């Protein structure tokens, strides 16, 4: 019988799962207490979409800026410099 190799979930899966579970738990608490959402469903979903897109845009912009800062200002020469002759020790 062939051994089954376990694969690790992506890094983002665990925080997303915890966030989803917390949202479901809070939804259950609000339902049990009888609270209603202050905004219509579509407006709330549009707000969540905006938060998600804004987070992605900020992350992409930060990565682009950090790559730009990491570049050297003066590129290395295309060919190696010749060795300097060493001075004899006195």
State the average pLDDT for the chain.
79
Structure confidence at residue 15 (pLDDT): 81
Distance of CA 83 to the CA centre of its chain: 45
Per residue in 40-51, pLDDT (tens digit) is 888 888 988 999
- 23 inside domain: yes
What secondary structure, in 3-state letters, does 11-36 show? CCHHHHHHHHHHHHHHHHHHHHHCCC
Per residue in 33-86, pLDDT (tens digit) is 998 877 788 888 898 899 989 999 999 998 888 877 666 666 665 666 666 666
- The domain in which residue 51 lies consists of 15-65
Q: Work out how many domains the chain is built from and give that number.
A: 1
- 72 inside domain: no
């Amino acid at each position: 019988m062939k051994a089954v190799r376990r694969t690790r979930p992506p890094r983002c899966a665990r925080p997303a799962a915890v966030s989803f579970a917390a949202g479901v738990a809070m939804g259950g608490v609000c339902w049990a207490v009888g609270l209603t959402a202050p905004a219509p469903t579509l407006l709330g979903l549009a707000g969540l979409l905006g938060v998600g897109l804004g987070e992605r845009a900020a992350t992409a912009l930060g990565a682009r800026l950090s790559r730009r800062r990491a570049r050297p200002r003066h590129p290395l020469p295309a060919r190696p410099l010749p060795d300097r002759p060493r001075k004899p020790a006195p």
